Amino acid sequence: MRPWQLGLVGSIAAGLMAGVAASPPQSTDVSADLVREPALQYFTKPATDAVARLNADLQRGAARLTFDDTGGYLPYLLTRIGWDTRVALQAGRPDAAAMIGRAAADVVDYLLLVDETPLPDRVTGTSGFAEKFSAEGPADRQGRSLRQLDLSTRLLRYPCSYMIYADAFDALPSEARDAIYRRLWDVLSRRETGAKYARLSAADRRAIVEILRDTKKNLPDYFQPINR
């Protein structure tokens, strides 16, 4: 199952977080005695869960997961892992690390384009878009960038999404961001050798690490040059 097909509510939670706050709203216009009135069931009635409702709508087709023109589905995967992390940690769930790890694996699979379909033929154009897009960087000391396009057999010359530079990525809870980095390093360093990563050549892995080391702020120190 591809990441954007996952029916998890976290992928659309960002737009609903204001409606599912963990604590009751405080207001000087409502007296403490009023909110404790038994007939109102303010503290005892189950809260209306907008996330659960929307998840049910997704399951029955009444709502759709929206595709973002800039980041594809990755913004929703980032929303999901951020949501899952905050909820799991706040609830003190014993399986929090495993939950975050699974979500991190989905993010990394998307970043590395593991489900990408090979291009049937070289894509060419005359508008200059490809050149402009590729030049937007950031570039490493060798002039390489994750925005450089390939367009012969695959979309990107270096198969790692430039969305790793997104503000939404940097704004993730540290536990989520750390899990993504650790999984990404495990794949690039071949500690993780699943069949779906076989398409990443040694040259791809080495180049991605070198580019990230030069261009990604706060990259963990364990991202060391790959010599194999």
Per-residue tens of pLDDT for the chain, all 228 residues: 443 333 322 332 233 233 333 333 333 333 444 445 454 454 555 544 444 454 455 456 554 444 444 446 788 889 889 998 999 999 998 999 999 999 999 999 999 999 888 888 887 776 777 788 888 889 999 999 999 988 888 889 999 999 999 999 999 999 999 999 999 999 999 999 899 999 999 999 999 999 999 999 999 999 999 986
- The answer to whether residues 211 and 192 touch, using CB atoms and an 8 Å cutoff, is no
pLDDT at 82: 92
Distance of CA 139 to the CA centre of its chain: 22
pLDDT at 62: 56
Nearest-CA neighbor of 207 among 165, 154, 156? Answer: 156
Bridge partners, 149 (sequence order):
156
